[in-house]
Amino acid sequence: MPNVRLSAAQCAQFARDGFLGPIDVLSGDEVAAVRAAVAAVIAHLDQHQAQLYEVEQAFCERPGEVVCHFLGGFLVHAVLRELLFHPHITGRCAQLLCVDRLRFWHDQVFAKPPHHPGVVPWHQDYSYWTRTTPACHITCNLLLDDADEENGCVQFVPGSHRWGLMPKLPFDAPLEAIRAQLPAGVAWNPIAVPVRAGQATFHHSHTLHGSDQNRSARWRRATVLNYMGAHVRVADGSTPLLRGVPLLATGEVVQGEHFPIVWPRGIERAADLEEFAKPKRRG
Ligand SMILES: O=C(O)CCC(=O)C(=O)O
C-alpha cells in the first residue's frame, strides 16, 4: 500500500478552508492515459450518452456557450473505472473525510475547449446531493491539463463550508448567481488555485467553488471524483439516485455495484470491474 497520508498541517488547512491543494496525484503516464480516455468519450459523446448517468442538457443544446459536463464516464471507459480506486485519491479522501471506509458516489468531467465562454457557476456540491444523508461527502478535482486563471481554473471561497447550505443553481447560470443567496455578513474572498496536469484539489461538500471561462488557446479538462462515507444513506428513495441505478429505499445505505467501497481496496473491486465491463443498455 503506498504512503498516501497527508500531514497534520494539510488536514488542518482542509478543516479551516474547506479545500486543499494542489496535491500530486497521477504520474505523467497515468495522466496521459486518463486525458486520452476523457478525449475519447468526449469525441463520441452522442454515442455514449445513453450509457452515461447524465450529459448536461444545456451543453447539449448550446455547446458553444455552456461547459461540457457529464456524469458517469466510469460506465463507458475502463481507464476511468480504474481511476475510482486510485489510492492517491481514495486514501486522501478517506483521511480528509475522517472515515475508515470510503464509498464511490459518482464521477464527472468538466471540459473547456480553447477560447470557450462557458463558466461553472459558484455552487456547493451537496446542493445537488440532498437525496443522500448525512452530508459526509468529498470531491477530488483532478486536472488533465495545466489550469490557471487564464484558462479558467477552479476558485474556492475559504471558510464557506461553514456557511450552511445554499440553493442549487442551474448549471448554465451566470458565474456570480449565488452571490444573491449568501448569508448576511460573510466575507467573499475567492481564491483561484492554479493546478498542473496530474495534480488535484480536494474540497468539502459545502465549499463554494466555481470557474470562469477559458480565455486561452489551451484546453482545460478536469475529471472529478465524488466519494462519501460508507454509512451514507438514501434520504429520498422515490426514484433511482442516478439514471440506470437500481432503486434504493429511503433509509437504506447507498450501496450496490455502482457504489463500491474504494478504501480500503476491497473484495468488491474485482467483481465491480467485471460487472461494468459487460455491455449493457441503459436509459
Ligand atoms: O472544474 C470545474 O470547473 C468545476 C469543478 C467542480 O464543480 C467540482 O470539482 O466539484
Question: Looking at per-residue confidence, does 266 or 49 come out higher?
Answer: 49
Distance 156 CA to ligand 1 centre (A): 10
Distance 267 CA to ligand 1 centre (A): 30
Tell me the mean pLDDT in the region 154-168: 97
Q: Do residues 62 and 170 touch, judged by C-beta distance below 8 A?
A: no
Burial (CB count <10 Å: 0-12, 13-18, 19+), residue 108: buried
Output the CA–CA distances (angstroms, integers) from residue 267 to 4, 68, 74, in the order listed.
20, 34, 19
- CA dist., res. 198 & res. 255, Å (int): 29
- Confirm or reject: Cβ of 154 under 6 Å from ligand 1: yes
Instruction: Provide the pLDDT confidence category of residue 2 given band limits of 50, 70 and 90.
Output: low
- Pocket probe for ligand 1: among 107, 140, 144, 211, the residue whose CB has the most ligand atoms within 8 Å is 211
Q: Which residues are paired to 191 by β-bridges? A: 156
Q: Do residues 172 and 110 touch, judged by C-beta distance below 8 A?
A: no
Summarised one tens digit per residue, pLDDT across range 133-158 is: 999 999 999 999 999 999 999 999 99
Q: Do residues 260 and 268 touch, judged by C-beta distance below 8 A?
A: yes
For ligand 1, atom 7, the nearest C-alpha belongs to 210
Summarised one tens digit per residue, pLDDT across range 184-233 is: 999 999 999 999 999 999 999 999 999 999 999 999 999 999 999 999 99
Atom of ligand 1 nearest to the CA of 125: 10
Distance 153 CA to ligand 1 centre (A): 9
Output the CA–CA distances (angstroms, integers) from residue 131 to 76, 221, 248, in the order listed.
25, 28, 11
- Confirm or reject: Cβ of 211 under 6 Å from ligand 1: yes
Nearest CA to 54 out of 118, 113, 109 is that of 109
Share of the chain above pLDDT 70, in %: 93
- Confirm or reject: Cβ of 110 under 6 Å from ligand 1: yes
- Pocket probe for ligand 1: among 139, 140, 175, 208, the residue whose CB has the most ligand atoms within 8 Å is 139
- CA dist., res. 200 & res. 273, Å (int): 24
Distance 191 CA to ligand 1 centre (A): 14
- Confirm or reject: Cβ of 224 under 6 Å from ligand 1: yes
Q: What residue segments make up the domains of the chain, in order of their start?
A: 8-274
Domain 8-274: homologous superfamily in CATH: q2cbj1_9rhob like domain (2.60.120.620)
- Confirm or reject: Cβ of 141 under 6 Å from ligand 1: yes
Tell me the mean pLDDT in the region 65-90: 97
- The answer to whether the predicted template modeling score (pTM) of the entire model surpasses 0.85 is yes
When the pLDDT of each residue in the chain is averaged and rounded to a whole number, the result is 94
- Confirm or reject: Cβ of 222 under 6 Å from ligand 1: yes
Nearest CA to 102 out of 277, 255, 271 is that of 255
Q: How far apart are the first and last CA of the chain?
A: 38
Specify the pLDDT at position 1.
47
- Confirm or reject: Cβ of 119 under 6 Å from ligand 1: no
